[in-house]
Amino acid sequence: MDIIFYIINTVISILTVVIPLFLIVAYVTYSERKIIGFMQSRMGPTRVGPSGLLQPIADVLKLVSKEIIIPTNASKGIFLTAPMLMLVPSLLVWAVIPLSELFIISNINAGLLFILALTSLSVYGVILAGWASNSKYAFLGSMRSAAQIIAYEIAMGFALVGVLMLSGSLNLQVIIQEQSGSIFNWYWLPLFPLFLIYFIAGVAETNRAPFDVSEGESEIVAGFHVEYSGMAFAMFFLAEYMNLILISILSSILFFGGWLSPFQGTFLDIYFAFVPGFVWLSLKTMIFIFVFLWLRATLPRYRYDQIMRLGWKVFLPITFFWLTVIGILIYLKYLPL
Amino acid sequence: MSDYKNFTMNFGPQHPAAHGVLRLILEMDGEVIRSADPHIGLLHRATEKLAESKPYNQNIGYMDRLDYVSMMCNEHAYVLAIEDIMKLDIPERSKYIRVMFDEITRILNHLLWLGAHALDIGAMSVFLYAFREREDLMDCYEAVSGTRMHATYYRPGGVSKDLPNVMPKYMLNKNQNLDQVEKLNYNREGSLLDFIESFIDRFPKNVDEYENLLTDNRIWKQRTVGIGVVSPERAVDLGFTGPMLRGSGIEWDLRKKQPYEIYKDLEFDIPVGTEGDSYDRYLVRMQEMRESARIIKQCCNWLKTDNGEYISSNYKIAPPDRDDMKESMESLIHHFKLFSEGYCLPVGETYACVEAPKGEFGIYLISDGANKPYRLKIRAPGFPHLASLDEMAKGHMLSDVVTIIGTQDIVFGEIDR
């Protein structure tokens, strides 16, 4: 009886995360179009529903009702598996994200490791999609993506080592609690260079501008998903936006105190005590999502070899250097372990 | 294994960066281009042949459709060729109007180039900002000719209409309330010249805005500096003109070197580059927009004080006044003959060229004394530029091909004709 109750409980908590997540993804696309629209002095969607609010729903309906075209010489099995390989890891990751003090689907000890493992997995989706499409454009896209992921995954991993060194735990809930105290106890202060590298590597990891070389619109058309249509394309699309939200939420958890109130340790704390942690987390996440969109509206695209240079020659040495600095500071007891 | 090293890729004609219908056959070693073979002809409309069967005046409209982002400059070369064969003097006012619209066209073209080039390299916003300004210039086209693009405004002997004294205004509609409409109309209360002046006053600030986004942007520099380098000697050998030549450091501008119309009376500078790479060509074009604004300003000032004729009063080549046609038999006959048979040019041949935004746009015209050209050859600046694509792209990467196509400012209307 207990086991059934446990399963039902888990399913409900999964649904409470996944269903809102899909809705959020839909409206992140809407806000992306609106925000970038205002940045580019145009309106964004206005036609479907009041000020275009139903646009994402219409988009979903369109994508669902479209045919999935499989190119003649494509490897059919892999072609259809690839989008799932993209989507499933980016959904699974949410199991270990602490959304508030209490709510977390699975509070495992190796949470950060779990996230790193799963996010690196999604590159297989990209590579297989490009390979299975049997198109030169898609192939170039997946080649670029493979090279890029290796360059950035390493810098990203090392950036997170800094967090591990300070918190002494892989458990995300513990990492957040270790940051409590005040806004200056959050890890962005001691780990500022690592935070920047983590965020930039995150942008590269999600294949978004200015690192969108693997789908570089003006060079290789749509890159790895050039042959995909309908729901198969929608899965890539969903995965991309879910990763975007994920990188934003991880940045706020690892470097900006997650669900901790920014007023902790000040006299304002008692006035804001009623605000649930989830609200703080979402606010911080939204700021990062905004930065993602802002980058996209402003910056030109890197060339693929320049990205590699940035990853290997700039980010990696900086992370090594800063990890050494952090290590020395901890050894000299300037920073708590 | 070495036999299988390179692979060919078909780039276009349906490609976001193909600028219309460019088809490139790329031979690539990984991402590195070994050779690029442009295929042309997908937008061929036989303009040169068509022109041989139409009276002179009716060909002006075809000229707009050659380089369809610098419309009036194409017309200009054509009417200059006709006027040259006829040895026709045109009124001073029409010269100023033509020069002013040539420069408006240059800004139009460079704005589109800037937007498309930036979009190719991945900077989205510049495209929309550039189109915001283009909209006002299109309105100038519309005010004088009735159309936003294919104006057919220049005529042998002058221009088809005088500058209007009123600007068309936005009307109240369901999407904009009264305040918004008034805001849109703020510089449309006066004449066209007032409107152009108000545009020219704010335009340099807009160029600063674009430069702010791009010029010192590290990514932009990484993507353009050292890409598609052409040495000054090669640029001359390859037949480059316009910003492509000036980007390589050669100060050649037909407006200065072979001044036509009233360019010799106007003050402006020719920006030149030093390195001959895409970044230099970008800087040259940005500076050219500012210089164009200067020229337009001078033309505006002159035109405001002048009330002369806008088209020659030789009714063999220019239509008579509408009012006269109601009264005078000759006017009616002139009108009828001009719009049906046209006029005959003396036997002769000429080459007339203008400094179009993309380079030297020339018309080689042979007349056998009939009312239509015996032969019309169009010298399109884009053609030699495209021909050098292979040389420019060799050894660069796929992303740089897109940059190079952008920096060449290719439009297929004129290349395929």
For residue range B351-393, what is the model confidence (pLDDT) as tens digits? 999 999 998 999 999 999 888 899 999 999 989 999 998 898 8
Q: Return the structure tokens found at A14.
A: 């999964």
Whether residue A207 has pLDDT greater than 90: no
Mean pLDDT of B248-268: 88
Mean pLDDT of A69-93: 86
The reported pTM is 0.88
> Residue B36 pairs with which residues in a beta bridge?
B26
Q: Which amino acid is at A310?
A: L
Q: Does B397 touch chain A (CB under 8 A)?
A: yes
Whether residue A278 has pLDDT greater than 70: yes
Q: Which whole-number Å values give the CA distances from A204 to A180, A304, B239, in the listed order?
A: 30, 11, 42
Mean pLDDT of B222-234: 89
Q: Which whole-number Å values give the CA distances from B210 to B125, B127, B145, B219, B273, in the listed order?
A: 9, 10, 29, 15, 19
**Mutate which of B132, B133, B396, B399 to test chain A, going by most A C-beta atoms within 10 A?**
B399
Residues 206-235 in A contacting B (C-alpha not used; CB under 8 Å): 209-210, 212-213, 216-221
Q: Using a CB cutoff of 8 Å and minimum separation of 24, what contacts does B160-168 make?
A: B160/B311, B161/B310, B162/B310, B163/B97, B163/B191, B163/B192, B163/B193, B163/B303, B163/B310, B164/B191, B164/B192, B165/B191, B165/B192, B166/B191, B166/B192, B167/B139, B167/B143, B167/B191, B167/B192, B167/B194, B167/B195, B168/B139, B168/B142, B168/B143
Mean pLDDT of B208-234: 89
Report which DSSP code applies to B397: B
Using pLDDT thresholds of 50, 70 and 90, give the confidence band for residue A145.
Answer: confident
Place of tokens 């419309």: B71
Q: What is the reported pLDDT for A337?
A: 59
Q: What is the reported pLDDT for A232?
A: 87
Using pLDDT thresholds of 50, 70 and 90, give the confidence band for residue A254.
Answer: confident
Mean pLDDT over all residues of chain A? Answer: 85
Q: Angle, nearest 10°, between helix axes A111-132 and A76-92?
A: 160
Give the integer Cα–Cα distance in Å for B162 and B307. Answer: 10
> Residue B356 pairs with which residues in a beta bridge?
B359
Q: How far is B18 from chain A, CA to nearest CA, in Å?
A: 9
Contact at CB, B223 and A302, closer than 8 angstroms: yes
Q: What is the reported pLDDT for B364?
A: 93
Whether residue A27 has pLDDT greater than 70: yes
Question: Measured between CB atoms, which of B122, B213, B214 is closest to A301?
Answer: B122
Which H or E element spans position B155? strand B154-155
CB of A8 closer than 8 Å to CB of A269: no
**Mutate which of B6, B19, B31, B405 to test chain A, going by most A C-beta atoms within 10 A?**
B31
Residues of B in contact with A40 (CB under 8 A): 124-125, 128-129
Q: Does B120 touch chain A (CB under 8 A)?
A: yes
Mean pLDDT of B148-168: 88
Interval B168-199: pLDDT, tens:
888 888 878 888 888 888 888 888 888 999 99
Least confidently predicted of B165-179, B273-287, B325-339: B165-179
CB of B123 closer than 8 Å to CB of A300: yes
Using pLDDT thresholds of 50, 70 and 90, give the confidence band for residue B2.
Answer: low
Question: Measured between CB atoms, which of B16, B124, B217 is closest to A40?
Answer: B124
Mean pLDDT of A35-54: 87
Least confidently predicted of B17-26, B73-82, B269-278: B17-26
Q: What is the reported pLDDT for B105?
A: 93
Mean pLDDT of A281-301: 89
Residues 102-141 in A contacting B (C-alpha not used; CB under 8 Å): 136-137, 140
Q: How far is B46 from chain A, CA to nearest CA, in Å?
A: 30
CB of B116 closer than 8 Å to CB of B164: no
Higher-confidence residue: B282 or A139?
B282
Q: How many CB pairs under 8 A join A and B?
A: 83
Contact at CB, A302 and B213, closer than 8 angstroms: no
Using pLDDT thresholds of 50, 70 and 90, give the confidence band for residue A126.
Answer: confident
Q: What is the reported pLDDT for A181?
A: 78
Mean pLDDT of A173-199: 83
Using pLDDT thresholds of 50, 70 and 90, give the confidence band for residue B110.
Answer: very high
Residues 284-313 in A contacting B (C-alpha not used; CB under 8 Å): 296-306
- Count Cβ atoms within 10 A of the Cβ of residue B171 and give its class: 0-12 exposed, 13-18 middle, 19 or more buried: exposed
Closest CA to A163 of A199, A117, A195, A120: A195
Contact at CB, B125 and A39, closer than 8 angstroms: yes
Mean pLDDT of A263-271: 76
Whether residue B120 has pLDDT greater than 90: no
Q: Which residues of B124-158 are buried (b: 16+ CB within 10 A; e: fewer)?
A: bbbbbbbbebbebbbbbbebbbeeeebbbbbbbbb
Contacts of residue B208, defined as CB under 8 A and 6 or more positions apart, other chains included, come to none
Q: Quick one: what percent of chain A has pLDDT higher than 90?
A: 3
Whether residue A336 has pLDDT greater than 70: no
Mean pLDDT of A233-245: 88
Place of tokens 């009036």: B72
Q: What is the reported pLDDT for B314?
A: 84
Report which DSSP code applies to B341: T
**∠ CA B344-B346-B352 to the nearest 5 degrees?**
100
Q: Is A266 left (phi over 0), alpha (psi -120 to 50) or beta?
A: beta
- ipTM score for this prediction: 0.83
Q: Does A146 touch chain B (CB under 8 A)?
A: no
Q: Does B282 touch chain A (CB under 8 A)?
A: no
* Cβ count near A247 (within 10 Å): 25
Q: What is the reported pLDDT for B284?
A: 92
Mean pLDDT over all residues of chain B? Answer: 88
Place of tokens 């995300």: A172
Give the integer Cα–Cα distance in Å for B314 and B334. Answer: 10
CB of B60 closer than 8 Å to CB of B82: no
Contact at CB, B123 and A299, closer than 8 angstroms: yes
